[in-house]
Each structure stands twice: as C-alpha cells, then as structure tokens.
Amino acid sequence: MTTQDVMEQGEQYLLHTYNRYPLVLDHGQGVHLYDKDGKEYLDFCAGIAVFALGYNNPEFNQAVKAQVDKLIHCSNYFYNEPAVEAARKLVEASGMKKVFFTNSGGEAIEGALKTALRYAYDRDGANGHEIIAMRHSFHGRSLGALSVTGNDHYQEPFRPLIAGIRFADFNDLESVKSQVTEKTCAIILEPVQGEGGIYPATGEFLTGLRKLCDEKDILLIFDEIQCGMGRTGAMFACQRYGVLPDVMTVAKALGNGVPVGAFLCNEKASSLKAGDHGSTYGGNPLVGAAASKVLDLYQSLHILDNVKQVGAYLGQKLEELAGKYEKIVEHRGVGLIHGLEFSVPVGDIILECQKRGLILINAGSHILRFVPPLVITEKDVDDMLAILEPVLQEQA
C-alpha cells in the first residue's frame, strides 16, 4: 500500500479515538524513525517514553525472537522462568517486595487501586474507603484510572466514575492533609506529572507524604509509568529523594515496545489474595523475556549514567532556549523528561518540526514534551535544536 492508502484505510477501519499525524512509520534504527517513503526522523518522543533503548537493539530483539521460538504464552496457572527472572530484577531495582505483571500502565493502576482497597478492607473489615489523587494528574483511560485522573476534560463524558476519590494540589502537603478523612486508604501521584505538564515533585512533598501515610496507616502509591525506568536519572524517580512508596506502577519503558506493565508492592501492601486479581496475558513468557532483557541492558549500557549526562545537557540547552523566546513561558523537567510551556498552542510547531525530520509531542495544548530514547547523545540534542530553533524563529 502507498502512504495515502494506509492513511485512508486507517480512517475507514480504525476507531477514531486518536488524532493521528499524517505519518506512516515503517521502521526504526537507534534514535531515528523512518516513514514508508524512507524519510528519516529524529525521534524525541520514543513512542511516548517507551523505547528507552532505541529502535532495533540487536540484543533485545534476539531475546524476544528466541522466546517466540520457545514459548509465547502458558497462562498464570503455571510458573514460567522469564517472568520470575523479570520479577526478581524489578524487585532488586526498586526496593519493593512483590510484582504483579499487567499488559499496560492503565491495568497497573487498576491493580494498585484494588490493592489499596483490599488493604483497607482487611484493616477495617468494612468498605467505603476513599483515595486521594492530585489535580492535573494523568493515570490512564480505564474507568478506575480515569477516576483518579485530575482533569475534568478526560472525565466528563464517562461520569459517574468510581466513588470516594478526593483531589488535592500537587506539591502542596497542606492541601493533601485537608483531604484526609478516617476513610482514606491511599494517596496516589506521579513523582513527575507527565501529561499534566511535566511537573516534578519536590523532595519535601514526597517526604511529607511518606510521613503522613505512615502516621495514618494509608498506602502511598507512586505512578512511575512515564517517569520511571531511568527517565529521571534514577531507576525510579522516587529514588532521587530516598522515598519509597507502598505500591508502585511501571510500564512503558519496561518492555521497550513489548506491551507489559506491572504494579509492585512492599511487604505491608501485599494484600491481594488468590482470586482477588488476575490477567490472562499478564507476565507471560514473551513479555517476561522482554522485560528481563531490558533490565539487563540498563546495566550493561549504563543507561542511568547516560541519562544524567545527556539529561543535564538537554536541560541546559532548553533553559537557554526558554530565555531567548518571549513566547516560551517556562522550562521544567529532569533527566530526559522535559517540557517547554508556551504562551500559544504548540500544534503548528510540532507539525513543522515533523516536516523537517523531528518528532516531538505535546503535554497539553501549550507544552512541548521531550521524552527521547534514553540512549540519545549530546549530538542528538544539538541535532534536535538545529531543527526546532529555526521553527521557533520563523513562528515568532
């Protein structure tokens, strides 16, 4: 099919839940993507923070191919070695104790919420508990995840959602405390808000939440789906502050493109019992092999060191860029997750960059989001700016 054929048939046969860009991507290599016509694009999206290792990594590809030839699926009625190995490596990397594998980040959030409700039910012998979430957060589009997503735009068409959700202000400990009641069983937040505009939490906020949860016997849930797996320069963003949650969700980069997520619990929060939760595909041998190899490659490729070095360089260059253009309101970010907030919508900037061979995405209508593969170099940052800055100059 031609590029036009693909787009036309996509509009005909695919449910229109995405406003897709007019690109038909065909293959990738390293930090570059190529469309069906062979045009090259520098990728600063990474499949929305998924392709941490870049495209076509030979060791990762071989591990997945070998598992395809061996055993793809066997159901969770049985053990399988790749999932057990991946779980062990996740526990060692996170400081948590138990792992439940899911197929996506949204499912990981659902499991985390059920974990909190089960914990409170066992604690109190009653139902009707409440969960505190943050305004401007994003946790997914399933009904449970949507219920704790602090954005009316996403929620409005699907109400009523799960009852008992209260919202507080991010980075405002007193706001959270004001929402705590005797029914509160959990507080959920992203250590770095992603879709909400790239807002990192402060160390004081996370430390205060940990103390509050300990005092009130409340579970602390960190959503590390986008900001985890090395993107901030620590394996998990919360580790930058020395604050561990009771429950943590991960996905995206965990599978480097293979659909896998997980929620992790400490000993206290390992409340779910046989029959409480399940997943037909979750943690099958294929995704276990993928996640296990990803975790190995993070070590052998020194991913965290690269994020710290190149992330600091990217942050410096974006800060300089923000100082040069009046329409850039603010630069925020850490490691290799950054945002530039503009006084105008950024849609035209994204489209023009695409025409010139650079893939960027937004986080809200006025924010450019930078979540490149974690293997990028300083040269890649320079190449990105060489495309972006002329666009900004022309649209000034």
Domain spans of the chain? 3-53+302-394, 59-300
Note the residue count of the chain. Answer: 396
Task: Tell me the three state secondary structure of residue 337.
Answer: strand
pTM, two decimals, is 0.97
| pLDDT, tens only, 174-199 | 999 999 999 999 999 999 999 999 99
Distance, CA of 144 to CA of 186 (rounded, Å): 14
Task: Give the pLDDT mean for 36-41.
Answer: 97
What are the distances in angstroms from CA 111 to CA 246, 247, 261, 272, 307? 13, 10, 11, 9, 30
The amino acid present at 217, given as its one-letter code, is D
Percent of the chain whose pLDDT exceeds 90: 99
The predicted pLDDT at position 395 comes to 86
Task: Give the pLDDT mean for 152-177.
Answer: 96
Q: Which CATH entry fits the domain spanning 59-300: 3.40.50.11060, 3.40.640.10, 3.30.930.10, 3.30.450.30?
A: 3.40.640.10
User: What are the structure tokens assigned to 41, written together?
Assistant: 């694009």
Residue written as token pair 């989001």: 369
Fold of 3-53+302-394: Aspartate Aminotransferase, domain 1 (3.90.1150)
Q: Is the pLDDT assigned to residue 162 strictly greater than 80?
A: yes
| pLDDT, tens only, 99-154 | 999 999 999 999 999 999 999 999 999 999 999 999 999 999 999 999 999 999 99
Q: Is the pLDDT assigned to residue 396 strictly greater than 80?
A: no
Q: Is the pLDDT assigned to residue 253 strictly greater than 90?
A: yes
User: What are the structure tokens assigned to 122, written together?
Assistant: 């066992």
The amino acid present at 282, given as its one-letter code, is G
Band (pLDDT 50/70/90 cuts) for residue 237 is very high
Band (pLDDT 50/70/90 cuts) for residue 48 is very high
The predicted pLDDT at position 230 comes to 98
| pLDDT, tens only, 55-72 | 999 999 999 999 999 999
| pLDDT, tens only, 280-319 | 999 999 999 999 999 999 999 999 999 999 999 999 999 9
User: What are the structure tokens assigned to 118, written together?
Assistant: 């089960």
